[in-house]
Amino acid sequence: MDNLKYVKFEKLSLKNHAVYNEKWLQERIAEDPTILGLGDLILKDKERVQPSGGRLDLLLQDSDSNQRYEVEIQLGSTNETHIIRTIEYWDIERKRYPQYDHTAVIVAEDITSRFLNVISLFNGFIPLVAIQMNAMRCGDQISLVCTTVLDQMSLGLIDEEEDQEVVDRSYWEKRGTKTTVSMTDELLEFIHAFDPAFELKYNKFYIVLAKDGQTNNFAIFRPKKKYLRLDLKLNKSEQIEKKIDETDLELIDYTKSGRYRIRMSRKDIEKHQDFLKEILRQSYDEKVG
């Protein structure tokens, strides 16, 4: 048995701290959005300027879906101004980008019971998450502990043109693996069979195809640690779904933006080359047509 030593942590207030302030907390979340406990999130923007003149602290996006989170940070206890600002920014973003699912997120050191009762009235009408985040000190080390005290109730397309922040291949080899990224090369070879001019373009949220400098999003690739996700722009069809079902390929879903999302391994690519060539060509023909 491991000889673990009990260590007592001291709660550290950030509200009036000279160094560990709101800016410091914002940077820690921006560096690693997963600490919020909302899933595998990617930083889309911070200090995002709003038409009202304010700035949204953080805009986060789920790496595997069309979910966005509008995050506002409040040191100390939550207050009325904080919730109004959070909901206002959430409303602005959802109206500007309706192709995404949006959730308002309040992050505060102290979410009081009175305030929790008030914001819980909105839950179900406004997708709202409240997270209490506390700084804990042990000796010369500091850590952050997040507790979701109010989770959203379910209510409710990727704008690929808006998500074109360019990265390089090594970025995706770190987010996925060299193996799953190389699987995109194999699928690119299938595409070259009907159009050899396409090449891979590495964006922050996905790998897409480009031809003569122009993006064509009939197929989108998202390498993960254990698999590759292929998103194909296709009209919904029982025939396509039946063919996918007859293979070992895993159909995740059909999105609101009109894409079949398929999970595959390297063995799947080797085993189902003919079908993948067929469905890639069909997606290309529908998009071009």
Q: What is the mean pLDDT of residues 103-108?
A: 91
Most confident of 66-75, 151-160, 236-245: 66-75
β-pairing, 55-62 vs 141-150, is unpaired
Using an 8 Å Cβ cutoff, are 105 and 83 in contact? no
Kindly state whether residues 243 and 271 are assigned to the same domain: yes
**Would residue 164 count as lying in a domain?**
no
What distance in Å separates the CA atoms of residue 20 and residue 36, rounded to the nearest whole number? 18
Do 261 and 136 fall into the same domain? no
Of the residues 98, 122, 150, the one at which a domain ends = 150
Strand partners, 58: 46, 71
**What's the pLDDT score for residue 9?**
84
Which residues is 216 bridged to in the sheet?
209
Residue 198, CA atoms < 13 Å, CB-side half-sphere:
25
The pLDDT assigned to 160 comes to: 47
Number of domains in the chain: 2
Convert the pLDDT of each residue in 29-55 to its tens digit. Answer: 999 999 998 888 999 999 999 887 889
Domain end marker among 118, 150, 182: 150
Statement to judge: residues 142 and 270 lie in one domain: no
Question: Is 161 within a domain?
Answer: no
Q: Is 275 a member of any domain?
A: yes
pLDDT at 275: 93
Q: Could you give the CA distance from residue 84 to residue 230 in angstroms, rounded to a whole number?
A: 39
**Residue 84 belongs to some domain of the structure:** yes
144 in the same domain as 91: yes
Are 219 and 145 within one domain? no
Q: Tell which residue, 49, 59, 50, 105, has the closest CA to residue 82.
A: 105
**121 with 192, same domain?**
no
pTM listed for this prediction: 0.58
Residue 258: predicted pLDDT: 84
User: 278 pLDDT exceeds 80?
Assistant: yes
Whether 232 shows a pLDDT value over 50: the answer reads: yes
pLDDT tens digits, one per residue of 120-173: 676 667 888 889 888 888 888 888 888 888 776 444 344 444 456 889 999 999
- CA-nearest of 207, 204, 215, 165 to 186 is 207
- CATH code, 47: 3.40.1350.10
Domain co-membership, 178 together with 269: yes
* 176 and 143 part of one domain: no
Q: Does residue 182 surpass a pLDDT of 90? A: yes
Nearest alpha carbon to residue 88 among 55, 114, 129? 55
| DSSP string computed for 101-159 | EEEEEEEEEE--HHHHHHHHTTTTTS-EEEEEEEEEEETTEEEEEEEEEEPPPP-----
User: Has residue 88 got a pLDDT over 50?
Assistant: yes
Q: What percent of the chain has pLDDT over 90?
A: 41
% of the chain residues with pLDDT over 70? 93
Q: Which residue has the tokens 């025939």?
A: 239
138 and 22 together in one domain: yes
Tell me: do 142 and 190 sit in the same domain: no
184 backbone dihedrals φ, ψ, rounded to 5° = -65, -30
Mean pLDDT for the chain? 86
Answer with the one of 120, 150, 180 that is the final residue of a domain. 150
247 located within any domain: yes
**pLDDT (0 to 100) of residue 104:** 92
Q: Answer yes or no: do 176 and 284 share one domain.
A: yes
Whether residue 216 is found in the same domain as residue 107: no
187: confidence class by pLDDT, cuts 50, 70, 90: very high
Give the CATH number, domain containing residue 242. Answer: 3.90.1150.20
Does residue 190 or residue 51 have the better pLDDT?
190
Phi-psi region of 125 (alpha: psi -120 to 50; beta: other; left: phi over 0): alpha
Which amino acid belongs to residue 207?
A: I
Residue 274 falls inside a structural domain: yes
Which residues form the domain of 238? 169-288
Q: What three-state secondary structure class fits 2? A: coil
Q: Is residue 159 part of a domain?
A: no
223, part of any domain: yes
